[in-house]
A and B are shown apart, each in its own frame.
Chain A
Amino acid sequence: MSETINGDGVAVAANGVGKTFDTRSGEVQALTGVDLRVAAGEFVSLIGPSGCGKSTLMRLLADLDSPSEGTIEVFGKTPAQARRDQDYGIAFQQAGLLPWRTVAANIGLPLELHGTDRAARAARVAELAELVGLSDFADRYPDQLSGGMQQRVAIARSLAEQPRLLLMDEPFGALDEMTRERMQAELSRIVGESGAAVVFVTHSIPEAVFLSDRVVVMSPRPGRITGVVDIGIGRDVPRDESLRETTAFFAKVTEVREALHGTPVTASGREGR
C-alpha cells in the first residue's frame, strides 16, 4: 500500500483487497489479502475453481462492487473514477445484448450513451463490426445470431471507446470448444491491435495459457491468490493453432495445473512480494 503508482505504466493495482458479503447464513469472505498489479498492455488471466473470487475481483476492478478492505487503483484512480472516465471496457459470460437493438445499435450503445455524434458513431461501429467479422450482420437482431456471434458483438461493444483496459469475465464460457478456440485466436489478435491491458477471468487452463502474459491462480474458501505463472510466450509469437501443439505451451499448461492443485511451482507465490 506504500507503493506509489505511476498512472502511465500500471493499469491495475490492488493492495490487500478483501471482500465480505453479508448473506442470510452469516458473513462470507469472498476475497482476502489480494495483491495484484497489471501493467499497461499486459494480458493477465485469473484462474481458479468456482468460489475462488475471481469474478468478484473483476467486479471490484469495474466498480460494480466495492471492496471491504484494501485499495484498488485503475490507472492511478479509484475504480469509481475510472468507471466514470470510461477507462475500461467490459464483457461478461453472457453477451448481454439488448434484444430490441440491431447488432450495429448494440455495438454503438456506449458511444450513444456518451454523446458521440451519429456520423462518428456509424464510422466506428462499421470499423468494429469489421474487426469482429460481423459486417454482414450489422442489421440483424441478437436472436438471429449464434452464441459465438453474439459474444463477438459483446466484445466489439467493449472495445467501442478504445479502452486501455479490458475486463472480461469468462466471455467464452458458454461457447463450444471449437468456437471457443477460434474466438481465443481472434481476441488475441484484436487485443494485440488495440494495445489494451486485459484482466481475463476463466476456468480453462489452456485458454489462460494461450492468451496470457501471466496467469494468476486463485483458490477458494476464502478466495485468495495462491500462485502466479509467467507464461513467457512473447507477444510476437502468433496465437494460432500451431502454438497449441508446442512443448512450451504444454509445459505451461502443466505448470498452471500444478499451481491450481496446490503443488508449489514458483518460489514467490504472491504478487509484488
Chain B
Amino acid sequence: MSVVDGVRSPRRDRTLRLVAPVAVGLLGLAVWQLLVGVVGVSAYLLPSPSEIAAEWTANAGPIAEAAWITGVNAVLGLLVGSAVGVALAAVAARLRWIDQMLAPVVAGLAVVPIVALAPVLNSMFGADSEIGRRTIAAIASFVPVFLNTLRGLRQTTPLHRDLMRSYAATGSQTLRTLTLPTAAPYVLTGLRVASSLAVISALVAEYFGGPRGGLGAFISTSAATSAYARAWAYVGASIVLGLGLYLVTVALERLVTRLLTGGAR
C-alpha cells in the first residue's frame, strides 16, 4: 500500500483499517491450508481450514444451538456479575471499611480457578442445571467490573470536588454531574474485559460436567471422538461468540461516550 498522493483521506484510512486485518487473516488461512495440503502436516495434528469449514456447514444447526446455550449463560453471568460489581463498588467507594472488607474477598475471587470451581458448582446445582455455569461466568465478570468501577469512582480530582462544594451542590447533583461521568469510561473498560471473560468461563465450565449442549461440551466431545475438524469448527464458533459480545460492549462504550458529551450541551 504505497502512499501516492502523500495525504490520505479519512475514507481511505477507514477502508485500510478494514481491509488490512482481513488480508492478514486470509493470508494466514492460505498458509495454513498450504501447510496441511502440500507440506503434509497430519490432520490429526492440524485439520485444514477447508475441512473445518466443511464441518461448520455440515453442522450449522447444532453449532448455532450450542452457541446460543453458551451465549445465554455468558450473557446472564455477565449481566449479574456486572450489576453486583457496580453496586458493590459504589458502596465500597463511599464506605472505606466496606472496601477494606471486600478487598481480600475480591482478590480471592480473582484467582479462583474455573477448573476447580466448575465441578463443585455443577454438583451443587445438579447435573441438569445451567446455574453453576452462569455463576462461574458471573464471578469471572464481577472482578474486572468491580475493580474498574471502584477505580473510576475515585478519579474525581480535589479541584473538581472543591468546585462542586463551592456551588453548594447536593450529593446527588455531584454524583450526576461529576462522579458518574468521571467513572463511566472505567466502568465500560471493566465491562469490555468482563465480556471476554464471561464467554471463556461459561465455555470452560462446560468441560466439567453438567448438561451437554453448549460449545464447550461439543468441543470436548468432538475431540474425545477424534473428530478434530468438528472440534475446530466449534472452537471457531466460540471465537465468533466471544468477539460478538466484545463488539456489543465496544458499541455500548461508544454510545455512552456520545451521550455523555452530547447530553451536556
Q: Does B166 lie within 8 Å of A62, measured CB to CB?
A: yes
In the assembled complex, how far is the CB of residue B170 from the closest CB belonging to chain A, in whole angstroms? 9
B162–A92 CB distance below 8 A = yes
Q: Does B19 contact A (CB under 8 A)?
A: no
Min CB–CB distance A21 → chain B (angstroms): 15
Q: Is A96 on the interface with B (CB-CB < 8 A)? A: yes
**What is the CA–CA distance of A113 and B175 in the complex, to the nearest angstrom?**
12
B187 to chain A, nearest CB (A): 14
| Interface membership of B59, Cβ < 8 A | no
Check if A86 sits within 8 Å of B167, measured CB to CB. yes
User: Which B residues are CB-close (under 8 A) to A86?
Assistant: 167-168
Inter-chain contact A102/B265, CB cutoff 8 Å: yes
Residues of B contacting A64 in the complex (Cβ-Cβ under 8 angstroms):
162, 165-166
State whether A83 touches B168 (Cβ < 8 A). Answer: yes
- In the complex formed, the residue of B with least CB distance to A110 is B167
Chain A: minimal CB distance from B152 (Å): 13
Contact, CB under 8 Å: A98 / B160: yes
Which of B169, B260, B265 sits near A113, CB closer than 8 Å?
A: B169
Interface string of B160-180 (1 = CB under 8 A from A): 101101111100010001100
Q: Which of B166, B168, B169, B261 contacts A100 (CB 8 A)?
A: B261
Does A96 lie within 8 Å of B264, measured CB to CB? no
- Which residue of chain B has the shortest Cβ distance to A82 in the bound complex? B168
* Known contacts A86-B168, A110-B167, A113-B177; A101/B162 CB under 8 A: no
In the assembled complex, B255 has its CB within 8 A of some CB on chain A: no
Complex Cα–Cα for A104 and B265 (A): 7
**Min CB distance, B185 to chain A, in Å?**
9
How far is it, in angstroms, between the C-alpha of A114 and the C-alpha of B162 when the chains are bound? 16
> How far apart sit A84 and B177, CA to CA, in the bound complex (Å)?
18
Q: Shortest distance in angstroms between A58's beta carbon and chain B's nearest beta carbon?
A: 11
Return chain B residues, CB-CB under 8 Å to A84. 168
Establish whether residues A100 and B264, one from each chain, have CB atoms under 8 Å apart when the complex forms.
yes
In the complex, whether A141 has a CB less than 8 A from a CB of chain B is yes
Q: How far, in whole Å, are A139 and B159 apart by their CA atoms in the complex?
A: 23
Known A-B contacts A83-B168, A84-B168, A113-B177; the reply to A102 vs B163 at CB < 8 A is no
Report the interface size for chain A: residues with CB under 8 A from the other chain.
24
B interface bracket (residues with beta carbon within 8 Å of A): 10 to 19
A126 touches B (CB below 8 Å): no
Q: Is A131 an interface residue (CB 8 A)?
A: no
Q: Which residue of the partner chain B has the closest CB to A89?
A: B166
For residue A105, which residues in chain B have a CB less than 8 angstroms away from its CB?
Answer: 264-265
Whether A185 is near chain B, meaning CB under 8 Å from some CB there, is no
Does B165 lie within 8 Å of A92, measured CB to CB?
no
Query: B37 an interface residue at 8 Å Cβ cutoff?
Result: no
Q: Is the CB of A83 within 8 A of B166?
A: yes
Indicate if B181 sits at the interface (CB-CB under 8 A): yes
Q: How distant is B181 from chain A, measured CB to nearest CB, in Å?
A: 5
- Residue A190 interfacial (CB < 8 Å): no
Chain A residues whose C-beta falls within 8 Å of the C-beta of B173 in the assembled complex:
113
B180–chain A nearest beta-carbon distance, Å: 11
A94–B159 touching, CB < 8 Å:
yes
Hey, which chain A residues are within 8 Å of B168, CB to CB? 83-84, 86
A141 touches B261 (CB 8 A): yes
Query: Are A96 and B261 within 8 A (Cβ)?
Result: no
Known A-B contacts A98-B178, A109-B177, A113-B173; A90 and B166 likewise in contact (beta carbons under 8 Å): yes
**A interface residues with partner B (beta carbon < 8 Å):** 62-64, 83-84, 86, 88, 90, 92, 94, 96, 98, 100-102, 104-105, 109-110, 112-114, 139, 141
Of the A-B pairs whose beta carbons lie under 8 Å apart in the complex, a sample of 7, sorted by A's number, is A63-B166, A84-B168, A86-B168, A98-B160, A98-B264, A101-B261, A112-B177
B residues with a Cβ closer than 8 A to A are: 157, 159-160, 162-163, 165-169, 173, 177-178, 181, 260-261, 264-265
Q: A83-B168, A88-B166, A109-B167 are in contact. List 14 more A-B contacts (CB 8 A).
A: A90-B166, A92-B159, A92-B162, A92-B163, A94-B159, A96-B162, A96-B163, A100-B181, A100-B261, A102-B261, A102-B264, A113-B169, A113-B173, A141-B261
Please list the 10 inter-chain residue pairs (A to B) with the smallest Cβ-Cβ separation, ordered nearest first. Answer: A101-B264, A105-B264, A96-B159, A90-B166, A84-B168, A100-B260, A113-B167, A110-B167, A100-B261, A113-B169
